[in-house]
Amino acid sequence: MQRIFLTLIAFCVTCTCFSQTQKNKYSLVLENASIVNVTTGKITYKRLLAISGDTIKVIADTKKVRQYKADRYIDLANKYVLPGFWDMHVHFRGGDGLIQANKDLLPLFLSYGITTVRECGGDMTPSVMNWSKQITEGTLAGPRIFTSGPKIDGPKSTWAGSLEVETPEQVTKALDSLQKIDADFVKIYESKISREAFLETITQAEKRGMKTSGHMPYTVKLKEAVDRGLDASEHLFYIFKACSAKEDSITNAVIQSEHTAKPIGLFAALPSLYDTYDAKTADRLFKYLGRKRFSIVPTLFISKTLGEIKERDHSTDKLIPYIEPKIQTTYAGRVNSAKRQSNEFTAFSKKYALKANSLIPQMHLRGINIMAGSDCGAYNPYVYPGESLHEEVKLLVATGLTPLQALQSATINGAKFMGVNDFYGSLGKEKSSDLIVLDTNPLNNIQAIDQINMVVSNGRAYSRTELDKLLNSIKH
């Protein structure tokens, strides 16, 4: 047996070119592709990608296609190939009665080219873990899932399923439980958590090497949290707070008010933060966060959607039929509270969003890792899985990021945050075959991301027709 093996090696050495290409059979060969390098912005034309399962094995000149045997060949002449999109802020939630409805959202992500999601806390972790396993094994169609498991918050937390912490011992127990289920990061929510428990959570997580991301109570200053190891901030409120020249006194006022009849909440503090925004303070902060390789998920689209709820009718939205009616009923809470807002507050929110959003290019310039996230999920009205991430990317371009920078926020930047960018988030030899195919060049016009021609997810290619078939399967 060994002798035959050695003879084979000798044979291979003498005719390397022929033998190397013939010995492998690939599951899929894509021909004539224009590959967009999301790191450099360069496009290479007429390329061939030979894929084996979840890995790109070869990238070569299409002329060499006859050297690569495959089960399936697809010609991508005049099409653009990019890594699959990452939505860095989604939720699966709503209680046991909505487990199937949440599972039905998975094809919606795929149909829009989202091949990975980061789930930021919910109340159906065992199901999410189960789907994640089935997706990796190839028995369920859906995006790869990174999950925080349940959120961490204080006593009487807002969201069902949260781990409630008050004392250092409770923090230890909560983090133990997250490590036990192999959570990919720690998501902290700020509705009820105290300043002390928040900082304790970050400190203990940092010691264990767990990534942390969150909302942040306004009783904490952002730098205190980042100094202790906070890795990312969801939404813009918390970074905006630290751009104020009066951050110290406003934080103290929030602390002083905490146990009074009229505690100052996030939205009550926002106007004074807006009035005391200081460009120099902001730039100093962004430089510091850039040095710390801090990440931010701005979630611009959900803010825009909630801000416009009073004036928009969503009953004829294209994607409404793909959202289980029981999930649609969870929209009422936020819709009603948006409708109750005074016109004055609505006007202020728009002014604030304009200001906060305009800071994104500068954050990027200073080295902050910008990640596209939609915040889609039950309770967040009309932010549809998939489509909302496309809208987020377009809004990032509207703030002044280049199309390339916005595409990075939806691909490689998420993979960097999760520490898996050597395999995921960009296309290359021995890298993930999760990819999307577009009809036109997204670097010229970001609207191109809406025309998804094909998706490869976990080694399986879905044509537009197959993606539409998947979508039809969840139509109500």
What character string, x for contact with Zn ion (CB under 5 A) and - otherwise, covers 78-97?
Answer: --------------------
By Cβ distance, which residue is nearest to Zn ion?
Answer: 375
By CB under 5 A, the residues from 378 to 397 that bind Zn ion are none
The 10 Å CB-count burial string (b at 16+, else e) for 79-99 is bbbbbbbbbbbbbbbbeeebb
Give the end-to-end CA distance of the chain in Å, rounded to a whole number: 59
Q: Which is nearer to Zn ion, 49 or 266 (CB)?
A: 266
Question: Near Zn ion by CB under 5 A, which window of 254-262, 268-276, 371-379, 436-444?
Answer: 371-379
Task: Return the structure tokens found at 406.
Answer: 């916005």
What's the min distance (Å) between Cβ of 306 and Zn ion?
A: 12
55-78: b or e for each residue (b if 16 or more CB lie within 10 Å)?
bbbbbbebeebeebebeeebebee
Residue (50 or 297) nearer to Zn ion, CB = 297
**Ramachandran area for residue 375 (φ above 0: left; ψ -120 to 50: alpha; else beta):** left
Report, in Å, the least distance between residue 240 CB and Zn ion.
Answer: 17
Q: Please state, in angstroms and rounded to a whole number, the distance separating the CA atoms of residues 131 and 290.
A: 35
* CB 373, min distance to Zn ion, A: 8
| Residues 6 or more apart whose Cβ sits within 8 Å of residue 140 | 106, 131, 134
Q: Which of these ranges, 15-23, 192-200, 374-382, 444-452, lies near Zn ion under the rule CB under 5 A?
A: 374-382
- The minimum distance between CB 191 and Zn ion, in angstroms, equals 12
Among the candidate windows 200-208, 269-277, 368-376, 437-445, which touches Zn ion by CB under 5 A? 368-376
Rounded to 5 degrees, what are φ and ψ at 111? -60, -25
375 forms part of the interface with Zn ion (CB under 5 A): yes
The answer to whether the beta carbons of residues 414 and 423 sit under 8 Å apart is: no
Q: C-beta of 211: minimal distance to Zn ion in Å? A: 16
Least CB distance to Zn ion at residue 44 (A): 37
Instruction: Please give the Cα distance from 47 to 34 (Å, whole number).
Output: 6
Quote helix, strand, coil % in the chain, to nearest 5: 45, 20, 35
Nearer CB in complex with Zn ion: 303/433: 303
Residue 197 tokens read as 């428990």
Whose Cβ is closer to Zn ion: residue 190's or residue 375's? 375
CA distance 81 to 58: 15
Q: Segment near Zn ion (CB under 5 A), from 20-28, 283-291, 312-320, 367-375?
A: 367-375
Nearer to Zn ion, 375 or 392 (CB): 375
Q: Which stretch binds Zn ion (CB under 5 A): 184-192, 357-365, 372-380, 437-445?
A: 372-380
What residues pair up with 187 in beta bridges, in sequence order? 213
119 binds Zn ion (CB under 5 A): no
Nearer to Zn ion, 104 or 375 (CB): 375
Please state the closest distance from residue 41 (CB atom) to Zn ion, in A.
Answer: 30
Beta strands in 62-219 (DSSP E): 73-75, 80-83, 85-90, 114-119, 144-147, 152-153, 163-164, 186-188, 212-214
Q: Is 190 in the site for Zn ion (CB under 5 A)?
A: no
* CA distances for 33 relative to 213, 398, 437, 441, angstroms: 37, 28, 9, 12
Q: Which is nearer to Zn ion, 123 or 375 (CB)?
A: 375
Q: Closer to Zn ion at the Cβ: 30 or 152?
A: 152
Cβ closest to Zn ion, residue 79 vs residue 187: 187
Residue 458 CB, shortest distance to Zn ion, in Å, is 25
Q: How many residues bind Zn ion (CB under 5 A)?
A: 1
Residues near Zn ion (CB under 5 A): 375
